[in-house]
A = this chain, B = another copy of it.
Amino acid sequence: MTTLERSACELLDRDDPLRKLRDEFILPSDTIYLDGNSLGARTKGAAERAQEVIEDEWGTGLIRSWNTAGWFDLPAKLGDKVAGVVGGGTGSTVVTDTTSINLFKAASAALKMQAADAPGRRVILTQRENFPSDIYMLQGLAEQLDDGYEVRLVDDAEVTAGFPNTMTDEVALVVLTHVNYRTGRLFDMATTTSAIHAGGAMVIWDLCHSAGALEIDLAGSGADMAIGCTYKFLNGGPGSPAFIWVSEALQNRFTQPLSGWWGHAKPFEMSPDYAPAEGIRRYLTGTQGVISMAVAELGLDIADSVNMAAVRHKSLQLSDLFIELVESRLADHPVQVVTPREHAHRGSQVSITHPEGFAVMSALIERGIIGDYREPEVLRFGLTPLYIGFTDVWDTVEALREILDNRLWDAPQHKVRGAVT
């Protein structure tokens, strides 16, 4: 692709089969929003849906709405929609709680199974650059179990190579982010899962930075469990509830310790003894925030309605263009692309470094182009194909060029840390 003129990008937008999806979102007209990998865009009907839940379901239906408006079934109903996007299969997924808490459930259940089958395995591997909360949750679990469990951090290259140095017979569980949140590196789910299984360990995939942005085949890849959020590429709204998927073969093999009443086999019998529901519902714990959950459904419906192969195709076109423009138009500046060039190793973002990355991103945001910044030096640009166009990419790199050429980032207000998301 040689698309170095803006007019060529306009043509690409005109012919983009996904272009009409932009109408499903409402974004400020003066903004190019490249942070959908952190918080997705506002869905068109969100305010109306919230109003309906509040006025009709809460206000008029009152307590009856747990049944009549289907509140109690929302985690499974939305879970099936997520499953459609990530290849999970019907009845395999629930939307509930937070990614961190769902990781605790999944990891606890996996370690329990390993303790029964392979009691010597007490090591949990995860990427050093996994999203920190995942690492913290595993550390909290290992400390609580207080029985020789240990969390070991591995570099991305070790994962890509199939764990040649770290997969020992001590390893019980591997927890992997599917896409590195900082660099945008994508890991191959099927081959990595196979390597982990060959080593005798189980795997939990964190799909926060991939669900809704690319094709995922959880069931087909042989994965054991997965977790993820709905507020990034799935556009569920701020802090919308997370999801958990467990492979069909494992669902009834064990329980998880956050055994609240929503995961009980008969939640309304009020028995004093816990008995887990059959299937994925045993991964539920307590009562969920209905308004946030109902609004999240709109984002899931959009993702469910599109062809993920088409989304992935456009995503790679966008990131190819972004990288090409950075390399051709910012060649005079100390800018490095840290996102992998190989499509097979690239998620749906482009990350670049600049020594004054924080100040540069501040200046960009001031112009209405919203990416974000991550230490050290990384400027992140999320590319959500549902609402980002080729011209947006061209305009972003052009704004970057102007800022860098004219040292516009050198103003004092751009040097103050803390305000950039």
How many A residues face the partner with a CB closer than 8 A?
90
Q: A140 touching B41 by the CB < 8 A rule? A: no
Q: Which of A5-13, A96-104, A194-202 contacts B (4 or more CB under 8 A)?
A: A96-104
Instruction: Please indicate the chain B residues that have their CB under 8 angstroms from the CB of A60 in the complex.
Output: 28
A367 contacts chain B at the CB level, 8 A cutoff: no
- CB pair B270 A132 closer than 8 Å: yes
Q: Does A57 contact B (CB under 8 A)?
A: yes
In the assembled complex, the Cα of A363 lies from the Cα of B367 at a distance in Å of 62
Query: Within the complex, what minimum Cβ distance (angstroms) separates A239 from chain B?
Result: 5
Residues of B within 8 Å of A231, CB to CB, are 287
Asked if residues B260 and A71 are in contact (CB atoms below 8 Å), the reply is no
- Are A140 and B274 touching (Cβ within 8 A)? yes
Q: Can you list, as one digit per residue, whether each of A6-44 has a CB less than 8 Å from chain B (1) or not (0)?
A: 000000000000000000001110010101001101100
Interface set, chain A 278-306, CB cutoff 8 A to B: 285-293, 295
Cα A305 to Cα B41 in complex, Å, equals 35
Given contacts A143-B257, A229-B287, A293-B239, A42 and B59 within 8 Å (CB-CB): yes
* Across-interface contacts of A55 in B (CB, < 8 A): 42, 47
- Residues from chain B with Cβ under 8 Å of A135 in the complex: 272-274
Tell me the bound Cα distance from A295 to B287 in angstroms: 16
* A160 contacts B by Cβ under 8 Å: no
Report Cα–Cα, A273/B104, bound state, in Å: 16
Interface residues of A in 120-137 (CB under 8 A from B): 128, 131-133, 135-137
Determine the residue in chain B with the shortest Cβ distance to A271. B132
Within A51-80, the residues touching B (CB, 8 Å) are 51, 53-55, 57-60, 62-67, 71
Apart from A132-B272, A141-B257, 19 more pairs, CB < 8 Å: A28-B59, A41-B62, A47-B55, A50-B291, A58-B238, A63-B372, A65-B238, A67-B421, A98-B260, A135-B272, A136-B264, A137-B260, A237-B291, A238-B291, A240-B289, A242-B286, A270-B375, A289-B293, A292-B293
* Residues of A in contact with B (beta carbons under 8 Å apart): 26-28, 31, 33, 35, 38-39, 41-42, 46-47, 50-51, 53-55, 57-60, 62-67, 71, 97-101, 104, 108, 112, 128, 131-133, 135-137, 139-141, 143-145, 153, 229, 231, 237-242, 255-262, 264, 269-274, 285-293, 295, 365, 370, 372, 374-375, 419, 421
